[in-house]
Amino acid sequence: MLEAEAKLGNADAIFTLAELNFFSYYGYPRNLTLAFDYYSKLASEKGNATAQRMVGFMFATGIGNVVERDQGKALLYSTFAASGGDYEAQMMVGFRYLMGIGTSRNCEKAVEQYKKVADKAMEHYHSGPSNRRVPPSPKMRLPDEHGGIYGYAHNGGSVHRDPSDVEDILQYTRELAESGDIQAQINLAHIYYRGGHHIERNYQEAFKYYSSVAEQKFYKNQVRDVSDAEANRLIAQACGMMGEMYRRGEGVVQDDKAAYKWYQRGVRLESPIANNGLGDMYLKGIVVAKNVEEARRYFEVASSMDYPEAHVNLGLLHLKAPVPDYEKAYALFFKAYEGHHIPAYYHLAELIHKGHVEQPCSTVVTLYKNFVERMDWLHSPFPDAHRAYKKGDIETAFLRYLIGAEMGYEIGQTNVAWLLDHDRFEIMEQSPDLIPKDLPLIYWARSANQGQSNSKVKMGDYYYYGIGTEVDLKKAALCYEKAAKHDLNELGMWNLGWMYENGLGVPKDFHLAKRMYDSSLIENAEAYLPVTLSLIKLSAKYTWSYLLGEDVGDGFFFTSPPRLEEDTQRAPLNPLDEPEKELDRIAEGEDYHQRARKKREDDEDYAEQQESSEEEGDFIEDLVILALCLLVGWMVYVRQFRAAGPNPQPLPPQMDPRWRWGPLA
């Protein structure tokens, strides 16, 4: 039926068939080739913006090997879709201009696209109850659900809790709450109101627990005496939130009069939420007569308590004054921004974009981008991606995360790269031609370029092992250096230490290797054993090289090296600008094969020249170093065994084993 209608040119039928083939709705067999054909037909014949965006997406990713990856065509189709009002396409085009993907970087054009999406998102925000919609729940970062990119406890890594652990904590908190623990009650209320990865928002439960807290003082028509200051603070929070929930109709029937009553009670207890809410009612004339000055007074009280939304409300009053005070508005918006109030991002961007405050274009685009990625009710691919992932439909989850990645979401880029790193074989079994080989590196790189620390280390690993690209030890070392010195990532530090120890991608330098190992231990004390073993091996190498008369650098090896922070200040680490630009070109397939072939030939020539002369020497050196390590290890063991004795005593400070290596600086 649909095929017949599609042949007759029915746009709805063509679109439905395209979506069925791409997203595999209702168990329909996925066929990316047919999906592309239908999207392409709809885009060219009907000018459908969604279809144009999907055609551009497939050219951008080369997914399914349906078409050859072509960033120029990707930008062309995405631009047509963006002009047609497609929010996802506007974000895709904005990100491409921001990062220079398939085009030169152009901050002004990026701002133009992101502002279109931001304006719509702000309009939707104000369309909610009481002109303020609750932001979407936080997005799920897949590595964090599985212990982080490199496992638990690594820098820049996991905030993961197992769902069963979360339920155990909730159950324990419920038991405390039922026993009358007011802190547990307010905690549960906040948890249910905000929701999270493993806890769905439940306004009814949130309202129940806020009510339990408020009733400690306001029970029916009685006002009880509560002398404890902390209890009064928690009751004030509950009153303010009950006012908010009555005002919005969240978990309870919307009732402005009830909202006003609970706001008043909260104001008596100095609740910033209640002061801000009451100010809003006076500003708009809800329940009370409109009175801007009275509204200003309540906003000022809430702002003095550093309530971010009150900062924004006061800032807006400064902008609406007969003579707008842009400096005061900017200062207030910035305070709200520091308090992570998302609408403040938009207001700051607007002030700068309109020329009222002088800031670089990069600041404007960052503010708009952060705003639209958080206030994304209208254009987020993540809810559907998360649902598919939880159902075990990895392929559909991957495709939806991939759309988010192309829209510029760092979390989408990380999720895509991580899926390919961990579920590649499962995905390949389901669709052998689905994944271009260099796709994981592309998205680790894009995630790294947006500040994800462990993604920088992953980039280094891919260059080190030649995954999805040619082996490039210099780029690997530079990626590790960026993670180590810029983000203080202990894995980056250890890897960089290894590179310095062995002269891979950087000149061999035992002192810098030791500095990196020491710094890695400072950042993660749990790495004591592997770092200590690395230092023992390094000291053996240093001793052997010194005895052979080789260059081991200036200064005594076991003295304390300069601190990493001082080193960074003395010689600031350059960003990965050039390597990242090169990576972008390689990742997008521009002249990839020519460069890869030339580099492979160069590497092979170099390897032939070096292999014969170094192989024998390296083998002998490794044997000697191994013997030295065993000797040092045996001596340490004997010393500790003797020191233990029948009544072991703690070592005095000067004999702490770490002292032998110098302070861990």
* CATH number, position 75: 1.25.40.10
- Residues 483 and 588 grouped into a single domain: yes
365: in domain: no
Last residue of a domain, one of 274, 305, 336: 305
User: How many whole angstroms separate alpha carbon 507 and alpha carbon 42?
Assistant: 57
- Residues 91 and 181 grouped into a single domain: no
659: in domain: no
- What's the domain count of the chain? 3
- Residues 76 and 222 grouped into a single domain: no
pLDDT of amino acid 608: 46
Q: Which residues contact 10 (CB under 8 A, 6 or more apart)?
A: none
- Residues 458 and 592 grouped into a single domain: yes
Q: Which residues contact 121 (CB under 8 A, 6 or more apart)?
A: 346, 371, 372, 375, 376, 377, 378
548: in domain: yes
519: in domain: yes
- Residues 192 and 301 grouped into a single domain: yes
Angle at 13 between CA 7 and CA 18, to 5 degrees: 95
Last residue of a domain, one of 247, 274, 305: 305
- Residues 96 and 194 grouped into a single domain: no
Residue of 482, 496, 457 whose CA lies nearest to 572:
482
Confidence of residue 200 (pLDDT cuts 50, 70, 90): confident
Question: What average pLDDT does the segment 371-396 reach?
Answer: 94
- Residues 90 and 210 grouped into a single domain: no
Question: What average pLDDT does the segment 444-458 reach?
Answer: 95
pLDDT digits (tens, 9 = 90+) for 465-480: 999 899 999 999 999 9
Domain that holds residue 525: 437-561+578-596
- Residues 299 and 162 grouped into a single domain: yes
- Residues 165 and 297 grouped into a single domain: yes
- Residues 517 and 591 grouped into a single domain: yes
Confidence of residue 435 (pLDDT cuts 50, 70, 90): confident
Confidence of residue 526 (pLDDT cuts 50, 70, 90): confident
Q: Which residues contact 558 (CB under 8 A, 6 or more apart)?
A: 539, 660, 661, 662
Identify the residue whose tokens are 């861990």.
664
131: in domain: no
Residue of 7, 91, 77, 69 whose CA lies nearest to 48:
77
- Residues 161 and 281 grouped into a single domain: yes
Mean pLDDT estimate for the chain = 84
Question: What average pLDDT does the segment 432-448 reach?
Answer: 88
Which residue blocks in 249-341 are alpha helix, DSSP H?
A: 256-268, 272-284, 292-304, 308-320, 326-338
- Residues 448 and 535 grouped into a single domain: yes
pLDDT digits (tens, 9 = 90+) for 588-635: 443 433 344 344 444 444 444 444 444 445 545 555 555 656 665 666
Sign of the C-alpha dihedral computed for residues 301, 303, 306 and 309 taken in this order: positive
121: in domain: no
Confidence of residue 148 (pLDDT cuts 50, 70, 90): confident
pLDDT of amino acid 208: 96
192: in domain: yes
Last residue of a domain, one of 46, 79, 107: 107
355: in domain: no
Q: Which residues contact 238 (CB under 8 A, 6 or more apart)?
A: 186, 189, 210, 211, 213, 214
